[in-house]
Structure 1
Amino acid sequence: MEVTKMENSEFLIKLLIAGVLICVSLLGFRLRSSRKLRRKGPPVVPGLPLLGNLLQLREKKPHYTFTQWARKYGPIYSIRTGANPLVVLNSSQVAKEAMVTKYSSISTRKLPKALEILTREKCMIAMSDYGDFHRMVKKMVLNNLLGATAQKQSHQRSLRECMMQNMVSKIYSELQAQAHQIKEGINIRQIIVTELFPLAMKQVLGHDVDSVYVEELGTKISKWEIYEKIVIEPMKGAIEVDWRDFFPYLRWVPRNTVQENMKQVDKKRNAVVRAVIEDYKKLPPSSKNPNCYLDILLKECAHLTDKELEMSIWEPLIEASDTTLVTIEWAMFELSKNPQAQDRLYREIQRVCGNEVVTEDYLPKMPYLSAVFQETLRKHPPVPIIPLRYVHEDVELGGFFVPAGSEIAINIYGCHYDEKEWKNTSEWNPERFEECRNGDILDLYKTMAFGSGKRICAGAVQANLIANTTIARFVQEFNWELAFEEEDSVDTVVLTTHKLHPLKAIPTPRKKP
């Protein structure tokens, strides 16, 4: 009988302890839940049931719409474009918070299916998740190709100087060829592309590839067919939108056009890149260029898989051939449209260079040139929206609670048109950058155009050197005017700030060639 009473007493004590623990746990849960509930999320842009804000973005230029919403809802707000919430950042302060101080919580990518195909499952610096692969490949490309030290190497610099002279010579040739119809203007984009892509090939592959036989395609293709397959077609594919990416639970719907098109683009791109790599491997040792990026990767990164090697070669080829072009073209558009700014830049070049040709050595002495470059990046950022980032743990941004599972869109265009930071945002005004100049031509980060933090653009230094020197050489050699009706030609390609139509401008030589 006494044993039974003892057992009952022990049972009651255990039951009481268990009850207390459960109460404490429930209380803790409620406290945590209430704290979460009290955390204020970003303002929500009203949308439709299920569709959210998708219909409001149907013009396919979301950076414009995001910027308009920022003026109403503030620099950080939440929208719905499908299954997951999307938090949009539209000010430099909040964007830098996401890219620098809170980076550890927002360091991964969540790509649409088409981009997964194009990037071969994030196997490239710009689109990879931050980790060992990203750090290793970025270190290689900075040390041997795009970083400040690599850019100072004599062989790199001589390639750029040769490119500058070739572009100027081509402009003179175009003037002679169009002597009686010059009012139609010269296609500036074509001048730049025909030199920029060969420069990228020389840096990466060791020489300007005129043609290559692509076994998988069963044909020999020319230089500009290579350009089409590895630059133009992937760029077009990257801006195609598959609405099913916004609704993963509707993935079963049979509409695979975007994905199938991207698979074809990917197949051709990979075949061409493999062909140029194999061609280089077959060269005798005496014909190989030990300074080119491919040669360095083959010697120092034998552990790279074939896929990683191919993507490591393709990425600098496409990026060097694209974003720098956008900046130069818009800078020449704005200078041709603003003769006073062009005249001021020319006077600065004369004062600094005299009768000498502009070279990279003179860049630090030309503050107004730097201001022209920075203001062009501000008004026409080459990448208006950074590829979406994924929030993998709860985080606070701009004073608002952002739960894990959200996606982050950093609207660079919106940061540059933030009226609290910039006055008269729609005006192109280089003078706005003179006050904050610190005297260093490589002070690249006055705008958000190159990003910030650990994922800052690897090609920023080269883009700066090429764009500034090209702009200066063009203005030193010629006075520029826009061709007829060109001032109204400001439309852009969807999802980008690329000029829809190539710039047509009229150059007048300042002196005899």
Structure 2
Amino acid sequence: MNLFMHYFSLFFPLFIFILFLYKLLFPSPKDTKNSPPSPPKLPILGHILQLGTHPHRHLHQLSNHYGPLMLLHFGSVPVLVVSSPTAAREIMKTHDSIFSDRPKSSITDRLFYGSKDVAFAPYGEYWRQVRSICVLHLLSNKRVQSFRKVREEETQLMVQKIKQSCGSPINLTDILLWLNNNIISRVALGRKYCTEEHGKKDIMGLLEEYMKVLGVVDIGDYIPWFAWVNKINGFDRRVEKLAKELDEFIEGVVEEHSRVEKHEADGLDLVDILLQIQREDKIGFPIHRETVKAIILDMFAAGTHTSYTVLEWAMAELIKNPKIMKKLQNEVRTKFKTYEDIETMQYLNAVIKETLRFHSPIPLLVPRKTIQDVKVMGFHVAAGTHVLVNSWGIGRDPTIWENSEEFKPERFLNSNVDYKGMHFELIPFGAGRRGCPGLAFGVTTVELALATLIREFDFALGEEKLDMNEGIGITCHKKIPLVVIATPMVS
């Protein structure tokens, strides 16, 4: 978003006369349908330049003044901002089917072969079939458990990697990203792709660029006659280059898998499963090559970055709060002997919930769009309205959470509130039809990695102070990597 703010700050004087002339000649019509409250806006541009580098924070501030349902305009496109559990329930449960479409995006269309993945596909029969594949064949509980050995092996490799640098500062952010990338690579693609191999570009660099690009609002999607801006500033070339490199990588993976037909007994990765569904036509729905590649890119990229982001913030908060760290260490080091013990560790679970509340990995979730007019909390919402659910803002709301700006896992010890889409005060993975199908896989990885780190090491900061500022992108990771000194626990 800051890319466009910078560009328009340079050229805004050129548009000022036209904008106010437009306002004079075409005054805004009076609202006769009781729309949600809305802040003052610029003519033509609306509110699109007012979001700043961290839109979830600015929208949270605005919602404190304008309420839990707030109407913005990006160009001429109405955008509903949802900032309370009651409003989120209306969107994701009461009227879930009406709010289950996705806004058309030139960025996701280019990256995902016309938005043929599960996250960004328009609501309809194609999306239902693709989601069914993900839920029943790729990310079922049985399938998630079948990859337990991969998670355990890679977690132990992480421990060995940290031990090699004990006593010296280590970039824990890089190690956590490396861990999640290795797990997802093996699960989804069949082997690791964490370094440059055989002339291929480092996939970690591609994924970082991917998350940054998805965090950009393409002004051409909202004001088509400003689409030329992206040609001038190079953003179009940036997206095309990324799409080409990602496609070359994913195409190579699929082609490699296509040469060997594997069966369940051989141990299938997600590409194998998709190709098997494609060959055997198990679902009565044609699975084309681009669909396979779009789904794999979804799983690979989203699975890597959301899990590592949660782990990074959890470790940062534990290091910042030594009493909480000590309490978690006491539980983990007493109870954690085998994988099954994770289910018995209540404080570990509370720490993860509190991290998801305080640092929602995708703070504005993935945008939705209405398919028809609807009434929400007494307000009229028109068909075609885009919807942003501020899960970060809901997690920081002081009317819901006592001492909301304090990291306090204890709040969840005697609470049945969970993050699985049934409690709308905690929705880091969304809810309803468009809830994240990879929730179970991601949380299982976070639980094992966090418990292992706390059991195996004591952590301290080096000379650098702990910086808790947020970076920029669709996922809300730390701006400055977490650098620590790890000391193996003495038995």
Could you tell me the TM-score, scaled by structure 1's length? Answer: 0.82
Alignment counterpart, residue 199 of structure 2, candidates 193, 214, 221 = 221
Relative to structure 1, the CA distance from residue 479 to residue 106 in structure 2 (aligned partners, 3 Å threshold; closer, same or farther) is same
Relative to structure 1, the CA distance from residue 393 to residue 268 in structure 2 (aligned partners, 3 Å threshold; closer, same or farther) is same
Unaligned runs of 5+ in 1: 1-35, 214-219
- Asked if 1:232 corresponds to 2:211, the answer is no
Alignment counterpart, residue 204 of structure 1, candidates 165, 168, 188 = 188
**1:370-428 deviations in Å (ceiling 9; x for gaps):** 11000101111110112322222111122211112322111111111122211222211
The answer to whether the Cα contact below 8 Å between 1:117 and 1:262 also exists between their aligned partners in 2 is: yes
Give 1:158's aligned residue: 149
Report the Cα distance in structure 1 between the residues aligned to 2:79 and 2:310, rounded to whole angstroms.
29
- Asked if 1:168 corresponds to 2:159, the answer is yes
Relative to structure 1, the CA distance from residue 120 to residue 350 in structure 2 (aligned partners, 3 Å threshold; closer, same or farther) is same
Relative to structure 1, the CA distance from residue 444 to residue 511 in structure 2 (aligned partners, 3 Å threshold; closer, same or farther) is farther
Matched to 2:199, the amino acid is I
The answer to whether the Cα contact below 8 Å between 1:111 and 1:388 also exists between their aligned partners in 2 is: no
Alignment counterpart, residue 397 of structure 1, candidates 371, 376, 388 = 376
**1:213-263 deviations in Å (ceiling 9; x for gaps):** 8xxxxxx335x713333x223222222343333212444668353223211
- Asked if 1:483 corresponds to 2:462, the answer is yes
The answer to whether the Cα contact below 8 Å between 1:114 and 1:258 also exists between their aligned partners in 2 is: no
Give the deviation of 1:289 after TM superposition. 4.5
Report the Cα distance in structure 2 between the residues aligned to 1:341 and 1:275, rounded to whole angstroms.
45
Q: Secondary structure at the match of 1:387?
A: coil
Give 2:314's aligned residue: 331
Give the deviation of 1:51 after TM superposition. 2.5
The answer to whether the Cα contact below 8 Å between 2:219 and 2:227 also exists between their aligned partners in 1 is: no
Alignment counterpart, residue 43 of structure 2, candidates 49, 60, 76 = 49
Alignment counterpart, residue 105 of structure 1, candidates 79, 98, 115 = 98
Relative to structure 1, the CA distance from residue 286 to residue 92 in structure 2 (aligned partners, 3 Å threshold; closer, same or farther) is closer
Give 2:25's aligned residue: none
Give the deviation of 1:320 after TM superposition. 1.5
Q: Secondary structure at the match of 1:221?
A: coil
The answer to whether the Cα contact below 8 Å between 1:240 and 1:258 also exists between their aligned partners in 2 is: no
Give the deviation of 1:325 after TM superposition. 0.2
Alignment counterpart, residue 369 of structure 1, candidates 348, 359, 363 = 348
Matched to 1:272, the amino acid is F
Matched to 1:260, the amino acid is R
The answer to whether the Cα contact below 8 Å between 2:97 and 2:433 also exists between their aligned partners in 1 is: no
Give 1:269's aligned residue: 246
Give the deviation of 1:326 after TM superposition. 0.0
The answer to whether the Cα contact below 8 Å between 1:327 and 1:377 also exists between their aligned partners in 2 is: yes
Q: How does 1:68-87 map to 2 (within 5 A)?
A: 68-87=61-80
Q: Secondary structure at the match of 2:202?
A: helix
Relative to structure 1, the CA distance from residue 238 to residue 442 in structure 2 (aligned partners, 3 Å threshold; closer, same or farther) is closer
The answer to whether the Cα contact below 8 Å between 1:105 and 1:392 also exists between their aligned partners in 2 is: yes
Pairs aligned (count): 454
Give the deviation of 1:322 after TM superposition. 0.7
Report the Cα distance in structure 2 between the residues aligned to 1:274 and 1:42, rounded to whole angstroms.
46
Could you tell me the TM-score, scaled by structure 2's length? Answer: 0.86
Give the deviation of 1:309 after TM superposition. 1.3
Alignment counterpart, residue 128 of structure 1, candidates 115, 121, 134 = 121
- Asked if 1:281 corresponds to 2:258, the answer is yes
CA RMSD of aligned residues (A): 2.6
Give the deviation of 1:491 after TM superposition. 3.4
Give 1:506's aligned residue: 485
Q: Over alpha carbons, which structure has the higher Rg?
A: 1
Matched to 1:273, the amino acid is I
Relative to structure 1, the CA distance from residue 442 to residue 412 in structure 2 (aligned partners, 3 Å threshold; closer, same or farther) is closer
Q: Secondary structure at the match of 1:401?
A: strand
Alignment counterpart, residue 329 of structure 2, candidates 324, 346, 369 = 346
Give 1:308's aligned residue: 291
Report the Cα distance in structure 2 between the residues aligned to 1:39 and 1:285, rounded to whole angstroms.
58
Relative to structure 1, the CA distance from residue 329 to residue 368 in structure 2 (aligned partners, 3 Å threshold; closer, same or farther) is same
Give the deviation of 1:37 after TM superposition. 7.0
Relative to structure 1, the CA distance from residue 494 to residue 233 in structure 2 (aligned partners, 3 Å threshold; closer, same or farther) is closer
Report the Cα distance in structure 2 between the residues aligned to 1:157 and 1:442, rounded to whole angstroms.
21
- Asked if 1:61 corresponds to 2:45, the answer is no
The answer to whether the Cα contact below 8 Å between 1:110 and 1:388 also exists between their aligned partners in 2 is: yes
- Asked if 1:119 corresponds to 2:119, the answer is no
Q: Secondary structure at the match of 1:161?
A: helix
Relative to structure 1, the CA distance from residue 188 to residue 86 in structure 2 (aligned partners, 3 Å threshold; closer, same or farther) is same
**1:262-282 deviations in Å (ceiling 9; x for gaps):** 112111111111111112223
The answer to whether the Cα contact below 8 Å between 1:60 and 1:494 also exists between their aligned partners in 2 is: no
The answer to whether the Cα contact below 8 Å between 1:364 and 1:441 also exists between their aligned partners in 2 is: no
**1:52-91 deviations in Å (ceiling 9; x for gaps):** 223322x221101100011111111111221112111011
The answer to whether the Cα contact below 8 Å between 2:194 and 2:204 also exists between their aligned partners in 1 is: no
Report the Cα distance in structure 1 between the residues aligned to 2:359 and 2:267, rounded to whole angstroms.
37
The answer to whether the Cα contact below 8 Å between 1:367 and 1:437 also exists between their aligned partners in 2 is: no
Report the Cα distance in structure 2 between the residues aligned to 1:275 and 1:174, rounded to whole angstroms.
35
The answer to whether the Cα contact below 8 Å between 1:333 and 1:482 also exists between their aligned partners in 2 is: no
Relative to structure 1, the CA distance from residue 363 to residue 46 in structure 2 (aligned partners, 3 Å threshold; closer, same or farther) is same
The answer to whether the Cα contact below 8 Å between 2:262 and 2:268 also exists between their aligned partners in 1 is: no
Relative to structure 1, the CA distance from residue 248 to residue 443 in structure 2 (aligned partners, 3 Å threshold; closer, same or farther) is closer
Relative to structure 1, the CA distance from residue 76 to residue 298 in structure 2 (aligned partners, 3 Å threshold; closer, same or farther) is same
- Asked if 1:294 corresponds to 2:278, the answer is no
Give 1:4's aligned residue: none
